[in-house]
Amino acid sequence: MFKKSLLLGALVLAASFSVAAKEWKEIRVAIDPTYKPFTFKTADGKPTGFDVKIAEALCEKVKAKCVFVEQQWDAMVPGLLAKKYDAIISSMSVTEERLRQVAFTGKYYNTPSKVVVRKDIKTDGSAASLKGKKIGVLKGSTQEKYAKGVLAPAGVNVVGYDAQDQVYLDIKAGRLDGTVADVVEVQGGFLDTADGKNYAFVGQALSMKKYFGEGVGVALRKEDKDLKASLDKAIKDIRADGSWKKISDEFVPGVNIWGE
Protein backbone atom coordinates (compact mmCIF):
# COMPACT_ATOMS: atom_id res chain seq x y z
CA MET A 1 0.00 0.00 0.00
CA PHE A 2 2.85 2.34 0.89
CA LYS A 3 4.58 1.72 -2.47
CA LYS A 4 1.31 2.30 -4.30
CA SER A 5 0.88 5.62 -2.46
CA LEU A 6 4.38 6.70 -3.45
CA LEU A 7 3.72 5.76 -7.07
CA LEU A 8 0.42 7.63 -7.07
CA GLY A 9 2.07 10.65 -5.54
CA ALA A 10 4.82 10.61 -8.17
CA LEU A 11 2.25 10.38 -10.97
CA VAL A 12 0.27 13.32 -9.56
CA LEU A 13 3.46 15.37 -9.22
CA ALA A 14 4.52 14.57 -12.80
CA ALA A 15 1.08 15.50 -14.06
CA SER A 16 1.18 18.82 -12.22
CA PHE A 17 4.54 19.65 -13.80
CA SER A 18 3.15 18.73 -17.22
CA VAL A 19 0.21 21.07 -16.75
CA ALA A 20 2.46 23.85 -15.46
CA ALA A 21 4.86 23.69 -18.41
CA LYS A 22 4.04 26.47 -20.87
CA GLU A 23 3.51 25.66 -24.52
CA TRP A 24 5.33 28.35 -26.50
CA LYS A 25 3.18 28.80 -29.58
CA GLU A 26 4.14 32.47 -29.75
CA ILE A 27 7.32 34.22 -28.60
CA ARG A 28 7.23 37.99 -28.20
CA VAL A 29 10.71 39.23 -29.08
CA ALA A 30 12.02 42.67 -28.06
CA ILE A 31 14.16 44.55 -30.58
CA ASP A 32 15.72 48.01 -30.86
CA PRO A 33 15.55 48.69 -34.63
CA THR A 34 18.27 51.38 -34.65
CA TYR A 35 21.29 49.09 -34.84
CA LYS A 36 22.12 48.26 -38.45
CA PRO A 37 23.06 45.63 -39.69
CA PHE A 38 21.86 43.70 -36.65
CA THR A 39 18.41 45.24 -36.21
CA PHE A 40 16.84 47.90 -38.43
CA LYS A 41 13.80 48.61 -40.60
CA THR A 42 13.25 48.24 -44.32
CA ALA A 43 11.95 51.15 -46.39
CA ASP A 44 8.39 49.97 -45.76
CA GLY A 45 8.91 49.84 -41.99
CA LYS A 46 9.38 46.11 -41.47
CA PRO A 47 12.02 44.91 -38.98
CA THR A 48 15.00 43.10 -40.47
CA GLY A 49 18.69 42.49 -39.87
CA PHE A 50 20.88 39.73 -38.47
CA ASP A 51 19.14 39.65 -35.06
CA VAL A 52 15.68 39.62 -36.61
CA LYS A 53 16.47 36.78 -39.01
CA ILE A 54 18.16 34.81 -36.20
CA ALA A 55 15.04 35.29 -34.07
CA GLU A 56 12.85 34.02 -36.90
CA ALA A 57 15.12 31.01 -37.44
CA LEU A 58 15.04 30.15 -33.74
CA CYS A 59 11.26 30.50 -33.57
CA GLU A 60 10.94 28.21 -36.58
CA LYS A 61 13.05 25.57 -34.85
CA VAL A 62 10.89 25.62 -31.72
CA LYS A 63 7.72 25.80 -33.85
CA ALA A 64 6.58 29.14 -32.45
CA LYS A 65 5.46 32.38 -34.06
CA CYS A 66 7.80 35.36 -33.64
CA VAL A 67 6.08 38.62 -32.70
CA PHE A 68 8.46 41.59 -32.64
CA VAL A 69 8.07 44.31 -30.03
CA GLU A 70 10.05 47.54 -30.43
CA GLN A 71 11.67 48.74 -27.23
CA GLN A 72 14.07 51.52 -26.30
CA TRP A 73 17.42 49.95 -25.38
CA ASP A 74 17.86 51.04 -21.77
CA ALA A 75 14.34 49.76 -20.93
CA MET A 76 14.91 46.30 -22.45
CA VAL A 77 15.48 44.31 -19.25
CA PRO A 78 12.76 46.09 -17.21
CA GLY A 79 10.31 45.38 -20.03
CA LEU A 80 11.25 41.69 -20.05
CA LEU A 81 10.77 41.41 -16.30
CA ALA A 82 7.42 43.22 -16.61
CA LYS A 83 6.37 40.56 -19.18
CA LYS A 84 5.91 43.01 -22.04
CA TYR A 85 7.70 40.36 -24.14
CA ASP A 86 9.29 36.95 -23.63
CA ALA A 87 12.79 37.32 -25.04
CA ILE A 88 15.33 39.94 -26.06
CA ILE A 89 17.04 39.14 -29.35
CA SER A 90 18.70 42.44 -30.08
CA SER A 91 22.49 42.22 -29.69
CA MET A 92 22.41 42.03 -25.89
CA SER A 93 25.74 40.92 -24.42
CA VAL A 94 25.85 38.38 -21.60
CA THR A 95 27.33 40.21 -18.61
CA GLU A 96 27.54 39.41 -14.90
CA GLU A 97 25.40 42.45 -14.09
CA ARG A 98 22.60 41.37 -16.42
CA LEU A 99 22.81 37.74 -15.26
CA ARG A 100 21.79 38.91 -11.81
CA GLN A 101 18.43 39.93 -13.28
CA VAL A 102 17.77 37.64 -16.25
CA ALA A 103 18.86 34.36 -17.83
CA PHE A 104 20.68 34.01 -21.14
CA THR A 105 21.07 31.32 -23.75
CA GLY A 106 24.53 30.55 -25.02
CA LYS A 107 25.97 33.08 -27.47
CA TYR A 108 24.75 33.44 -31.04
CA TYR A 109 27.49 35.90 -32.00
CA ASN A 110 30.41 37.80 -30.46
CA THR A 111 32.10 40.92 -31.84
CA PRO A 112 34.37 43.49 -30.15
CA SER A 113 33.85 47.23 -29.79
CA LYS A 114 36.16 50.11 -30.60
CA VAL A 115 36.55 53.87 -30.23
CA VAL A 116 35.77 56.00 -33.30
CA VAL A 117 36.79 59.68 -33.53
CA ARG A 118 37.44 62.38 -36.11
CA LYS A 119 40.59 61.76 -38.13
CA ASP A 120 42.09 65.12 -37.17
CA ILE A 121 42.10 64.25 -33.47
CA LYS A 122 45.53 63.12 -32.30
CA THR A 123 44.90 60.08 -30.14
CA ASP A 124 46.00 56.48 -29.74
CA GLY A 125 42.56 55.55 -28.43
CA SER A 126 43.68 55.48 -24.81
CA ALA A 127 41.63 57.20 -22.13
CA ALA A 128 44.38 59.72 -21.36
CA SER A 129 44.74 60.76 -25.02
CA LEU A 130 40.99 61.38 -25.26
CA LYS A 131 40.85 63.73 -22.27
CA GLY A 132 38.51 66.65 -22.91
CA LYS A 133 36.81 64.98 -25.87
CA LYS A 134 33.05 64.38 -26.05
CA ILE A 135 32.09 60.77 -26.74
CA GLY A 136 28.51 59.56 -27.35
CA VAL A 137 27.34 56.08 -26.31
CA LEU A 138 24.12 54.10 -26.21
CA LYS A 139 22.45 54.23 -22.79
CA GLY A 140 22.45 50.94 -20.94
CA SER A 141 24.99 49.38 -23.32
CA THR A 142 28.27 47.63 -22.59
CA GLN A 143 29.96 50.48 -24.46
CA GLU A 144 28.48 52.96 -21.98
CA LYS A 145 29.72 50.80 -19.10
CA TYR A 146 33.23 50.84 -20.56
CA ALA A 147 33.14 54.56 -21.30
CA LYS A 148 31.98 55.44 -17.78
CA GLY A 149 34.39 53.00 -16.17
CA VAL A 150 37.52 53.83 -18.19
CA LEU A 151 37.13 57.01 -20.25
CA ALA A 152 35.16 59.27 -17.88
CA PRO A 153 37.65 58.97 -14.97
CA ALA A 154 40.38 60.16 -17.35
CA GLY A 155 38.45 63.34 -18.18
CA VAL A 156 36.46 62.24 -21.23
CA ASN A 157 32.96 63.73 -21.45
CA VAL A 158 30.68 60.70 -21.90
CA VAL A 159 27.15 61.42 -23.17
CA GLY A 160 24.39 58.78 -23.21
CA TYR A 161 21.78 58.48 -25.98
CA ASP A 162 18.52 56.51 -26.27
CA ALA A 163 19.52 55.06 -29.66
CA GLN A 164 22.80 54.57 -31.53
CA ASP A 165 21.55 56.40 -34.61
CA GLN A 166 21.05 59.49 -32.42
CA VAL A 167 24.76 59.33 -31.60
CA TYR A 168 25.59 59.50 -35.31
CA LEU A 169 23.24 62.43 -35.84
CA ASP A 170 25.03 64.43 -33.11
CA ILE A 171 28.44 63.47 -34.49
CA LYS A 172 27.28 64.78 -37.89
CA ALA A 173 26.04 67.99 -36.24
CA GLY A 174 29.43 68.53 -34.60
CA ARG A 175 28.18 68.05 -31.06
CA LEU A 176 30.33 64.96 -30.48
CA ASP A 177 33.93 64.03 -31.24
CA GLY A 178 33.17 60.34 -31.60
CA THR A 179 31.68 57.21 -30.09
CA VAL A 180 32.41 53.77 -28.64
CA ALA A 181 30.47 51.15 -30.59
CA ASP A 182 30.39 47.59 -31.87
CA VAL A 183 32.91 47.36 -34.73
CA VAL A 184 30.48 45.77 -37.19
CA GLU A 185 27.59 48.12 -36.40
CA VAL A 186 29.64 51.32 -36.50
CA GLN A 187 31.41 50.26 -39.70
CA GLY A 188 28.20 49.74 -41.64
CA GLY A 189 26.03 52.20 -39.78
CA PHE A 190 28.42 55.14 -39.84
CA LEU A 191 31.98 54.76 -41.18
CA ASP A 192 30.86 53.41 -44.56
CA THR A 193 28.40 56.29 -45.02
CA ALA A 194 29.09 59.79 -46.33
CA ASP A 195 28.76 61.18 -42.79
CA GLY A 196 31.54 58.92 -41.54
CA LYS A 197 34.20 59.70 -44.15
CA ASN A 198 36.20 61.93 -41.79
CA TYR A 199 36.13 59.45 -38.89
CA ALA A 200 38.14 56.32 -38.12
CA PHE A 201 38.79 53.58 -35.56
CA VAL A 202 41.51 54.32 -32.99
CA GLY A 203 43.19 52.12 -30.42
CA GLN A 204 42.75 48.44 -29.72
CA ALA A 205 39.64 46.31 -30.12
CA LEU A 206 37.71 46.26 -26.83
CA SER A 207 36.46 42.95 -25.47
CA MET A 208 37.23 42.94 -21.73
CA LYS A 209 34.73 40.65 -20.01
CA LYS A 210 34.37 43.10 -17.12
CA TYR A 211 32.66 45.54 -19.45
CA PHE A 212 31.66 43.64 -22.58
CA GLY A 213 30.69 40.21 -21.26
CA GLU A 214 31.00 36.90 -23.08
CA GLY A 215 29.19 37.36 -26.36
CA VAL A 216 25.60 38.07 -27.37
CA GLY A 217 22.82 35.76 -26.19
CA VAL A 218 19.04 35.65 -25.99
CA ALA A 219 17.85 37.22 -22.72
CA LEU A 220 14.95 35.53 -20.92
CA ARG A 221 13.19 35.59 -17.58
CA LYS A 222 14.87 33.18 -15.15
CA GLU A 223 11.67 31.24 -14.55
CA ASP A 224 11.26 30.37 -18.25
CA LYS A 225 13.71 27.47 -18.12
CA ASP A 226 11.82 25.45 -20.71
CA LEU A 227 12.10 28.27 -23.24
CA LYS A 228 15.80 28.67 -22.50
CA ALA A 229 16.41 24.96 -23.08
CA SER A 230 14.48 25.06 -26.35
CA LEU A 231 16.32 28.12 -27.64
CA ASP A 232 19.73 26.77 -26.61
CA LYS A 233 19.03 23.69 -28.69
CA ALA A 234 17.73 25.84 -31.54
CA ILE A 235 20.96 27.88 -31.60
CA LYS A 236 22.97 24.67 -31.93
CA ASP A 237 20.60 23.46 -34.66
CA ILE A 238 20.87 26.60 -36.82
CA ARG A 239 24.65 26.46 -36.50
CA ALA A 240 24.67 22.82 -37.56
CA ASP A 241 22.28 23.07 -40.52
CA GLY A 242 23.86 26.15 -42.11
CA SER A 243 21.02 28.58 -41.33
CA TRP A 244 23.22 30.73 -39.07
CA LYS A 245 25.93 31.09 -41.74
CA LYS A 246 23.39 31.95 -44.42
CA ILE A 247 22.01 34.79 -42.26
CA SER A 248 25.51 35.97 -41.34
CA ASP A 249 26.57 36.00 -45.00
CA GLU A 250 23.51 38.08 -45.87
CA PHE A 251 24.05 40.86 -43.34
CA VAL A 252 27.77 40.77 -42.50
CA PRO A 253 29.44 39.09 -45.49
CA GLY A 254 33.09 38.16 -45.09
CA VAL A 255 33.17 38.90 -41.36
CA ASN A 256 33.56 36.31 -38.61
CA ILE A 257 30.99 37.39 -36.04
CA TRP A 258 30.81 34.08 -34.16
CA GLY A 259 33.96 35.01 -32.24
CA GLU A 260 36.17 32.62 -30.33
- Asked, for residue 60, whether it belongs to a domain, the answer is yes
The arithmetic mean of pLDDT across residues 26-49, rounded, is: 96
Same domain for 38 and 165? no
- Asked, for residue 138, whether it belongs to a domain, the answer is yes
CA 23, CA 21: separation in Å to the nearest integer?
Answer: 7
Same domain for 30 and 82? yes
pTM to 2 decimal places: 0.89
User: In degrees, to the nearest 5, what angle opens at C-alpha 215 toward C-alphas 159 and 53?
Assistant: 95
- Asked, for residue 203, whether it belongs to a domain, the answer is yes
The answer to whether residues 234 and 220 touch, using CB atoms and an 8 Å cutoff, is no
The 10s digit of each residue's pLDDT in 140-180 is 999 999 999 999 999 999 999 999 999 999 999 999 999 99
Coil, helix or strand at residue 20? helix
The answer to whether residues 50 and 238 touch, using CB atoms and an 8 Å cutoff, is no
Runs of H (alpha helix) within the chain: 2-20, 50-61, 76-81, 96-99, 142-146, 164-172, 183-186, 209-212, 225-240, 243-251
Q: How many CB atoms lie under 10 A from the CB of residue 230?
A: 18
What is the domain count for the chain?
2
Residue 238: burial class (beta carbons within 10 Å; 0-12, 13-18, 19+)? buried
- Asked, for residue 175, whether it belongs to a domain, the answer is yes
Q: How confident is the model at residue 201 (pLDDT cuts 50, 70, 90)?
A: very high
CA 177, CA 141: separation in Å to the nearest integer?
Answer: 19
Same domain for 177 and 232? no
Same domain for 232 and 166? no
- Asked, for residue 50, whether it belongs to a domain, the answer is yes
Same domain for 104 and 224? yes
The answer to whether residues 38 and 49 touch, using CB atoms and an 8 Å cutoff, is yes
pLDDT score for 214: 93
Same domain for 90 and 159? no
- Asked, for residue 12, whether it belongs to a domain, the answer is no
Same domain for 131 and 150? yes
pLDDT score for 22: 73
CATH of the domain at 49: 3.40.190.10
- Asked, for residue 223, whether it belongs to a domain, the answer is yes
Residue 70: burial class (beta carbons within 10 Å; 0-12, 13-18, 19+)? middle
Question: In this predicted model, which residue has the larger pLDDT, 6 or 129?
Answer: 129
In eight-state DSSP terms, residue 215 is: S
Question: Count of residues for the chain?
Answer: 260
The arithmetic mean of pLDDT across residues 79-104, rounded, is: 98
Cis peptide bond upstream of 253, omega within 30: no
In eight-state DSSP terms, residue 124 is: -
Q: How confident is the model at residue 16 (pLDDT cuts 50, 70, 90)?
A: very low
Provide the percentage of residues in the chain whose pLDDT is more than 70. Answer: 92
Same domain for 201 and 118? yes
Same domain for 198 and 244? no
Q: How many CB atoms lie under 10 A from the CB of residue 44?
A: 5
Same domain for 219 and 194? no
- Asked, for residue 15, whether it belongs to a domain, the answer is no
CA 166, CA 181: separation in Å to the nearest integer?
Answer: 13
Same domain for 126 and 202? yes
Determine the structural domain holding residue 145 and report its residue range. 113-212
Same domain for 149 and 204? yes
